[in-house]
Amino acid sequence: MSILQKIKNTVRSRSIHVSYVDVGSCNGCDIEVLACLAPRYDIEQYGIYVHNNPREADVLLVIGSVTPQWVDKLRDIWDKIPEPKVAVAIGNCPISGCVYARRGTLTSPPVEKYIPIAAQVPGCPPRPTEILNAILSVAPLIFKDYEEKQP
Amino acid sequence: MKKTVDVSVPLGPMHPCWKEPVRLKCETAGERVLKTELELGYMKKGIERIMRGRPWQEVMFLAERVCGICSVVHNMVFIETMEEISDIPVPPRAAYLRVVVNELDRMASHLIANFSYCYTIEHETLAMYLLNTREIVLDNLERITGSRINTAYMIPGGVRFDLLPEDAAAMLADLVKVEDEMKRYVRIFETGPLIALRSKGIGFMSREEAIRSHTVGPTARASGVEDSDLRLRHPTYQALDFKQITRTEGDNFARIMVRFQEVFQSIDLIRKCVETLPDGPIRGGGLCKAGEASYAGEAPRGELTYTIKTDEYGRVVDIAIRTPSIMNIEACAHTMIKGATSIADVTSTFISSDPCVACNER
Amino acid sequence: MRSIVYYVREFLRPEWIRKFFSVKTAPLETPSYFKGYPTRTEKECTGCFTCMMICPAPGAIAVLRKKDEWEPEVYPGHCIRCGLCVEACPEGVLSSGRILDVTRRDRTAFASWYHLDVDDNLCMRCGNCCVSCPVNRQIDPQLAGTGTSASDEVIMRIEGGRVRILHMEKCTGCTTCETQCPNRAIRVARMVEGVQLGEAEA
């Protein structure tokens, strides 16, 4: 492993930028992601920064079952995120559609149909600690030795 | 002299300040906003379509998931509509417990609204303080109901869990802590000169405009609309001697201060509830029957109306939900933001009206 | 200037400084009263399907026959952790948070009635409902693929080219037929009432 790669690993492990996109949820998971910012959970002590800007993000948190408006736009957002990137599905909605996956619904879950999902956090809504653990466990797997893993 | 070019500034649907997707198109001349157009529809899930033909125990959870921030009040208004249709009496203890849980939820909702505002005007210290206070409130909600956000606490004819004496004692102890902290934060907010620069006189809406644009909730109360709180008409709140809070300034500062004052009022209401909590059962039973009713309750954002028609087995045949945010967002776009002297004020004014897009579009 | 003095004073409070060093290591464990995913207790499941009847989320819980015993299975990703199944189960097979203790102490329960009706205009006589019904299968394991049955004890069967409901009182309200029906012809009305037993008996 080159020294450059080692430096990259160290830097990446301490600065993970998170962006979240709400593609049609009930808001519950939204505010649980916001609650991670609270001093009690303090997401920034692990070097995770929540901006809502896909162009500088490493981790995309997808919240909600996909509404018709987001079907094409979600892919656009995913393409705008620079490599290396990872998407995490927060809550039941992106996994199964939660209570909306019924006859007559307008949503079209799961979100895996549109973008690749690396990790799922089930729960309606999940606790902030569960969200934190998911981001912390999935981020190093993707970002460590990213250049060496490339074919 | 330079020519001023008219530019249409789009804000959203994904914007760092906004938690949910909504799009504002601002027509500007220089920094001055001339006209704002609102584009909704990013969150339409068709909840009312899913609700049709389902019994209350399924619709209750769908109603809760209309909005995750004020989930308790959606649950409460839906259940009270069903009770009105089928004449189910509520035991007095259950009615008081509903008020306790509803007020805890209102506190959490107001705190997150004020957090968003402080975060938008980049006063991160106060924002984080408020968010941490919200965690204490949510702890109490969790202790009573067992979950933080979507609580599923109320059922027709009562509530699901009782309030234990040791939980009530812990809650009262926490409320003292919350009240002390909130007093300090309100002082920071009231006296901070930088906050005043971003809030006082910005996003003004007069009383006449507020009435004409049908605003509800804290947004209307900040503009001085009297008798706009539906808790005044709720029998349990009447027994608790509820008084409405009204301010007359009508700007961003007033809207945030109304929410702060309502947090203190909620603390008082919860204390009164716990003091006068009657003994007795928490569930009365009662089956849902056929009928049709319209019922309104006060959500943290304003008036919330459910119109429900049921069949003889208690299934929902037709349902219409009228949520408060739609009027507030429209009023915000057409009266408050119009004439703003800076693009930077657009986001903070929009957040100050506490928009809830998930409520709007369902 | 005034604001700078204000913030310096704000950050020099002993409470703030103490919090600055201590708040990061806040306890992050889940409290015991949190309604988590329902877990299995050692009680035996009788296969009454009450949990499936009351579950508000689609596909969240299924009671499966494993060898000789019934086994409720909860699917994370579908389960919304509402705790209704824990509260409704008459045997106390599932447990989540402290719901089970609180329900036992307050003696709260759910009483329920069911009503089956078939819309003959929509029904295609495919027999899916009769075949998929778990109670039907228990009563008559030889139930044919077309939904006809020789037994008179089944809830419903295809008889003379239409679905005939024989024993509505045996229905457990699990709505398996409703989800299997391709045309939404069979409807299960589930009337549930939250009751408290303590006062009435005392």
Q: What is the DSSP string of chain A?
A: --HHHHHHHHHHHH-EEEEEEESS--SHHHHHHHHTTSTTT-GGGGTEEE-S-GGG-SEEEEESPPPTTHHHHHHHHHHHSPSS-EEEEESSHHHH-GGG-STT------GGGTS---EEE-SSSPPHHHHHHHHHHHHHHHHTTHHHH--
| pLDDT for residue B2 | 58
DSSP B283: B
Smallest Cβ–Cβ distance between C199 and the set B57, B143, B281 belongs to: B281
DSSP structural state of residue B362 = -
Question: What pLDDT is recorded for position C202?
Answer: 37
User: Does the pTM exceed 0.90?
Assistant: no
Residue A114 has pLDDT above 70, yes or no: yes
In chain B, DSSP assigns E strands to: 6-11, 23-29, 32-39, 154-155, 158-159, 291-299, 302-310, 316-322
Check residue A1 and give its pLDDT: 66
Q: How does the average pLDDT of chain B come out, rounded?
A: 84
- Closest-CA distance, A75 to chain C, in angstroms, reads 23
Contact criterion met (CB < 8 Å) for C191 and B194: no
Chain A contact present for B13, CB below 8 A: yes
Please give the residue that has the higher pLDDT: either A59 or A13.
A59
The pLDDT of residue C183 is 80
pLDDT at B180 over 80: yes
CB C86 within 8 A of CB C39: no
Which of C24, C76, C77 comes nearest A42 by C-beta? C24
Residues 25-54 of C with CB under 8 A from A: 26, 28, 30, 34
Cβ atoms of C140 and C153 within 8 Å: the answer is yes
**Is some CB atom of chain A closer than 8 A to the CB atom of B132?**
yes
Contact (CB<8Å) A96/C28: no
* For C104, nearest residue in chain B (alpha carbons): B161
pLDDT of residue B347: 84
C187 near A CB under 8 A: no
Distance in angstroms (rounded) separating the CA atoms of residues A137 and B135: 24
Q: Which residues of B touch A24 (CB under 8 A)?
A: 42-45
What is the layout of strands, in order, in the sheet containing B302-310?
B291-299, B302-310, B316-322
**Subunits adjacent to chain C (3 or more Cβ pairs under 8 Å):** A, B
Q: Is the CB of residue B55 less than 8 Å away from at least one CB of chain A? A: no
Residues recorded for chain B: 362
For residues B221-250, give the mean pLDDT: 84
Burial classification of residue A72, based on how many CB atoms lie within 10 Å of its CB (0-12 exposed, 13-18 middle, 19 or more buried): exposed
Instruction: Compute the average pLDDT of residues A130-140.
Output: 81
**Residues near B65 by beta carbon (within 8 Å), at least 6 away in sequence:** A26, A28, A98, A99, A100, B47, B71, B150
Q: Report how far apart, in Å, the C-alpha atoms of C143 and of each of B16, B108, B203 are.
A: 59, 55, 70
Query: Using one digit for the tens of pLDDT, what is the confidence trace for B300-324?
Result: 888 888 998 888 887 888 888 888 8
- Using alpha carbons only, what angle is made at residue B344 by residues B339 and B350, rounded to the nearest 5 degrees? 70
The one-letter amino acid code at B284 reads G
**C191: which chain B residues are within 8 Å (Cβ-Cβ)?**
55, 287-288, 313-314
Residues in chain C with pLDDT values less than 70: 19-28, 144-145, 147, 198-202
| Chains contacting chain A through 3 or more C-beta pairs under 8 A | B, C
**Token pair of C130, please?**
């009769």
Q: In what order do the strands lie in the sheet with B6-11?
A: B6-11, B23-29, B32-39
Chain B CA closest to residue A105 = B46
Tell me the helix, strand and coil percentages in chain C, rounded to 5.
30, 25, 45
Give the ipTM of the model, two decimals please: 0.84
Give residue-wise pLDDT tens across range C8-59.
Answer: 877 788 877 776 666 554 556 777 778 888 888 888 888 788 888 888 888 7
Q: Is A42 on the interface with B (CB under 8 A)?
A: no
Q: Which residues of C109-126 are buried (b: 16+ CB within 10 A; e: fewer)?
A: bbebebbbebeeeebeeb
Q: Is the pLDDT of residue B66 over 50?
A: yes
Task: Look at A101 and B2; give whichever has higher pLDDT.
Answer: A101
C103 class by beta-carbon count within 10 Å (0-12 exposed, 13-18 middle, 19+ buried): buried
Does pLDDT of A118 surpass 80? yes
Chain B residues with CB under 8 Å of C34 CB are 142, 146-147
Distance between B26 CA and the closest CA of chain C, angstroms: 33
| C127–chain A nearest CA distance, Å | 21
Report whether pLDDT(B233) > 60. yes
**What pLDDT sits at residue C201?**
42
Domains of chain A: 1-144 (3.40.50.12280)
For chain B, say whether C137 makes contact (Cβ under 8 Å).
no
CA distance B312 to chain C (A): 9
Give residue C198's pLDDT: 65
A80 at C interface, C-beta within 8 A: no
* CA neighbours closer than 13 Å in the CB half-sphere of residue B42: 24
Q: What is the mean pLDDT of residues B53-67?
A: 85
Query: C9-41 b/e with 16+ CB inside 10 Å = b?
Result: eeeeeeeeeeeeeeeeeeeeeeeebbbbebeee
Residues of chain C neighbouring A103 (CB-CB closer than 8 A): 184
| pLDDT > 80? residue A149 | no
CA nearest to B265, candidates B43, B96, B104: B104
Across the interface, do C23 and A42 touch by the CB < 8 Å criterion? Answer: yes
Burial label for C94, CB within 10 Å (0-12, 13-18, 19+), is buried
Interface contact flag, C58 A40, Cβ < 8 Å: no
DSSP letter for B54, please. B
Q: Is B103 a residue whose pLDDT tops 80?
A: yes
